[in-house]
Amino acid sequence: MIKSRSLVLAHLGVAVAAFAGGTAMALMQALSRADVDLPLRSPEMYYLSVTAHGVLLALVFTTFFIMALGYLVAETTLDRLDTPGLAWAGFWVAVVGTVLTTLAILSGTSTVLYTFYPPLQAHPTFYVGATLLVVGSWVWCGVLIRTYLGWRRTHAGAPTPLAMHGMMASVVIWILATSGLAVEMVGMILPWSFGLVETIDPIVARTWFWWFGHPLTYFWLVPAYVLWYTIIPRVAGGRLFSDPLTRVVFVMFMLFSTPVGLHHQFSDPGIGSGWKLAHTITTFAILFPSLVTAFTVLASLEDAGRRRGATGLFDWIGRLPWRDPFFASVALAMITFALGGFGGAVNAAYSMNVMVHNTAWVQGHFHLTVGTAVALSFMGCTYWLLPRLTGRALAWRPIAVAQPYLWFVGMQIFSLSSHVAGLLGMPRRVYTGDFLGAEAADAWSWLTDVSAVGGVVLFVSAMGYVAVCLATIVVGEPSVDTAIEYAEPIEPVAAESGLWDRFGLWTFVAVVLIAIAYVGPFVQLLSLERFGSQAFRPF
């Protein structure tokens, strides 16, 4: 049993609670858009619930789950976790922040969505809470870095254990990402929301937001990849295809995840098209590590199928443990990500983005990526983790086996219909699918009914996940699965630590790339008379 199990369990508990709240909101949204007349349905309730849904799932569920995984990986790969007291302090700061933000949203004063774009303004508590959540996560970064450096001192020259390599990449990505958010919050939004300054510059704020918001998506994805690379091959009965290739992938995410944020702002004024093109090119660079991942994880799974006796070209697929809830979750997450990645390449293309930007397509895209590739991997991991943390076997196993398949089916229905509706012109972030009878909506309004069906299936699946987690804790039988084991690579790991383990060097290169990508656009924005804002004086 691992020493910091209560710390990991506490983080996991908040993650699952946030998941339960966030997915409950989603059912209402899907039905509202299909124009089903629910008792409390109104535009105000719609935006309140979308804000709660986005914040609780995209920001709280993910962050707490990743913090849990980080502590678990540090302790099980390095055999230490330094300053556990500090880790608990960080946990409570993040919990207080989450409670403040959630209360601000539920009070109806902060319906600004998870992107909180100014000039939409929330109650100051919303921003203070979000800031505390980030401060709590910085404590997590500090504890992991300290633990890692402590381990390095006693293991000079040894290669970083691969799972920890991925978690350290996530830590670096998070620090680089949240540096932009900190400037936006402290330099612009907090003074404005407390009334210290009167105006705010929406474009400058959005640019800082997407400095943060894009690498945020890789802060979610890289820990999921840690599961795909370092644990799933073992669960499937195989080996990791290549250890060095995996390290290269994690480093590429550190380098390319931040200097791409303008791909969320192709339609924003005030930023030159040359800079937007530069970010298009770096965005295509960030497709590359995922394409490598597609190859590597498939090769690892093929190895597993062959070790289970497959001999033909494709029969290894059928030999994989499809009734194991962790394996099935991740495999279905991978298949879904192939579709989400295709959509990502469409979004990234400067010219095609115009066709899909701010349409329902985008909501389809991110439910395939963060909503499935990441969230379904994390759900599956919970099924694997809970018995190892609580000493209780998974309860209500048939529900756990069915749940990932339900999620997969529900999500295909929901997301594919959203993609098509987007291509037909349906805007995103709207509370009614038929636009109160507007003629233009005839083209797509039937698709909102289809996506509501997907929403209902997803809701049933989500509640199944929450029920299995609760039942395991309350009525789970004693567990025999207690070992946390990582996959062995096919070729042995190099004896010495190499170039890809040099986090200081790669962080430096990442900072240089960020400077190249952002100094120009900011100089441009801040030198334009009409964008110069009285509210913005951080320098």
Count of residues engaged in binding ligand HAS, rule: CB under 6 A: 35
Burial class (CB in 10 A: 0-12, 13-18, 19+), 79: exposed
Binding partner of residue 362 among ligand HAS, Cu ion, none, CB cut-off 5 to 8 Å per kind:
ligand HAS
CB of 195 to ligand HAS, least distance (A): 28
Q: Which residue in the list 127, 218, 225, 241 is annotated as catalytic?
A: 218
Residues 200-229: x where in contact with Cu ion by CB under 5 A, - otherwise, as a string: --------------x---------------
- C-alpha distances in Å from residue 336, one per residue of 312, 318, 408, 532: 25, 18, 8, 43
Q: What span, in angstroms and rounded, lies between the C-alpha atoms of 518 and 270?
A: 14
CB of 346 to ligand HAS, least distance (A): 8
For position 279 contacting Cu ion by CB under 5 A, the verdict is no
For position 493 contacting ligand HAS by CB under 6 A, the verdict is no
For position 177 contacting ligand HAS by CB under 6 A, the verdict is no
For position 281 contacting ligand HAS by CB under 6 A, the verdict is no
- C-alpha distances in Å from residue 255, one per residue of 170, 264, 270, 360, 520: 11, 18, 26, 30, 19
Query: 427 has which bridge partners?
Result: 359
For position 419 contacting Cu ion by CB under 5 A, the verdict is no
For position 263 contacting ligand HAS by CB under 6 A, the verdict is yes
Q: Are 41 and 11 in contact (CB under 8 A)?
A: no
Q: 214 vs 367, which CB is nearer to Cu ion? A: 214
For position 347 contacting ligand HAS by CB under 6 A, the verdict is yes
| All residues at 6 or more sequence positions from 291 whose CB lies less than 8 Å from its CB, including other chains | 341
Residue 427, phi then psi, degrees to nearest 5: -70, 160
Positive or negative: CA dihedral 371, 372, 378, 379: positive
Binding partner of residue 283 among ligand HAS, Cu ion, none, CB cut-off 5 to 8 Å per kind:
ligand HAS
For position 245 contacting ligand HAS by CB under 6 A, the verdict is no
The three-state secondary structure class of 59 is helix
Q: Which residue in the list 263, 264, 367, 419 is annotated as catalytic?
A: 367
Q: 93 vs 331, which CB is nearer to ligand HAS? A: 331
Binding partner of residue 293 among ligand HAS, Cu ion, none, CB cut-off 5 to 8 Å per kind:
ligand HAS
Interface pick for ligand HAS out of 65, 126, 140, 366 (rule CB under 6 A):
366
For position 331 contacting ligand HAS by CB under 6 A, the verdict is yes
Residue 239 CA from chain centroid, whole number: 26
CB of 331 to ligand HAS, least distance (A): 4
Q: Which residue in the list 214, 319, 388, 419 is annotated as catalytic?
A: 214
Q: What span, in angstroms and rounded, lies between the C-alpha atoms of 168 and 160?
A: 10
Binding partner of residue 475 among ligand HAS, Cu ion, none, CB cut-off 5 to 8 Å per kind:
none
Q: What span, in angstroms and rounded, lies between the C-alpha atoms of 18 and 26?
A: 12
Q: Are 243 and 497 in contact (CB under 8 A)?
A: no
Q: 283 vs 533, which CB is nearer to ligand HAS? A: 283
Extract the tokens encoding 199.
């105006």
Annotated catalytic residue 365: yes
Nearest by Cα to 131 from 172, 190, 218: 190
- C-alpha distances in Å from residue 16, one per residue of 34, 101, 393, 407: 28, 17, 18, 16
Q: 256 vs 459, which CB is nearer to ligand HAS? A: 256
The three-state secondary structure class of 427 is strand
Extract the tokens encoding 366.
């991110």
CB of 243 to ligand HAS, least distance (A): 18
Q: Which residues bind Cu ion (CB under 5 A)?
A: 214
Q: Which residues bind ligand HAS (CB under 6 A)?
A: 115, 217, 220-221, 263-264, 283, 286-287, 290-291, 293-294, 297-298, 301, 317, 331, 334-335, 337-338, 341, 344-345, 347-348, 353, 357, 362, 365-366, 369-370, 374
Active site residues: 214, 218, 365-367, 428-429
